[in-house]
Homo-oligomer: A and B are copies of this chain.
Amino acid sequence: MSVIEGINEANQKELFKKYEAKYKALADQLRLKIMYELNQRGQVCVCDLTEIVELPQSKLSYHLKILLDADLITREKIGTWNYYRLHEAEVRGLLSEELCCIFYPEKK
């Protein structure tokens, strides 16, 4: 079932709330930059990202959490490091093709 079918009063509110949360996570320069860098580099650990985006660690962690909670990125723990990467399908479902390949990669 496509998104538009099945819209009724009850669904609507939920749907708008969902997209509000997603777009809210995207609506920030820093976070877009993070997405851009993750897209460029694939998998990146926080320690590297701190240098790439030049943010204090706690601030970066804060913004990563927002992206993670919105399901726009994923986290994988490997030893001491936390590696983040884009949640490609999710971002693709949100942003126009015009934004390929800034914030998500070209389709393989």
Contact = CB atoms under 8 A, between A and B. Distances in A.
A81 interface: no
Interface in A21-73: 23-24, 26-29, 32-33, 36
Contact of A95 (B32, B95, B100): B95
A76 interface: no
B32 A27 contact: no
Interface residues of A, number: 30
Chain A residues touching B, majority SS: helix
A27 B16 CA distance: 9
Nearest to A101: B4
A20 B3 contact: no
A39 to B, nearest CB: 10
A80 interface: no
B4 A32 contact: no
